[in-house]
Structure 1
Amino acid sequence: MSSEDCIIGGYDVPSQTIVFINIWSIQRDSKLWDNPKSFRPERFENEDNGQCKLLSFGLGRRACPGANMAQRVINVALGSLIQCFEWKGRSEEGMNMPKALPLEAMYKAHEIMARIAEH
């Protein structure tokens, strides 16, 4: 719902108007994409190309029913990796700094994890 008067695609949209977004159509628009009907996930690898147009889970009533679960599972998985392993970078650079090359890290299970694995 629009919170204030605005213009979308050249149309005047008054405030409090329900707006339906057709993600399927946006992601297959030949004005936005080269060869839009082909499956090419590599088009999203470089965010500097100005094509940050991916809405991976869709929007509105027809959005992916598993989006909330997927976002929660990612948090649990990352938390488990942080909690269960000791991490060290292969170089002396800080692990949280932006990298030109992918980060290489070494990991070792915490002692408590070895005891859990025995059972």
Structure 2
Amino acid sequence: MSLLLNHPEVIKKAQAEIDEFVGDSRLLGADDVPRLGYLQSIISETLRLYPVVPTLIPHESTADCSVGGHHVPGGTMLLVNVYAIHRDPAMWADPAAFRPERFEGGGAEGMFMMPFGMGRRKCPGEALALRTLGLVLGTLVQCFDWDTVGGGEVDMVEGVGITLPRAVPLEAMCRPRQGMVDVLREL
């Protein structure tokens, strides 16, 4: 939500997509989420900039090896810095910018994305997490208009922690979207 609040044009575009594919006579459902390409792009871009665990889970080399031309003795703890990989200017144009459009139409396929890890140690909950995130974020975008408290930008400075919390807690205001009032009353 923090990134979306700083980019209201992205919220409006997501709302337009949801209005087109779902409408305002019912709440977004789990079956709708895969059809919402722009919503999926928002999620991908958010996970690129702010992976759930920025250094993934530690691994240990079982034997001496070489990684990127560097000697790694057996028994060394190895961390994959996904945060840095996802912001590498050699791989991503304008890597610090929040631009969901880079993922539209599979445009970023082949780029190195691994917010949930990769290979046999990839997070087994990735599909569930993405489905849940799509459903929750999509519903929040479908049902409400959002704004920051005080009308300024959300402070994106990161705090300390394994999951990149905001240094300043998010404060936001929401109002039911006009077309969704009746649907929300039925809940």
When normalised by structure 2's length, the TM-score is 0.30
Q: Which structure has the larger Rg over C-alpha atoms?
A: 1
Higher relative contact order (CA 8 A, sep 6+): 2
Higher helix share: 2
TM-score normalised to structure 1 length: 0.43
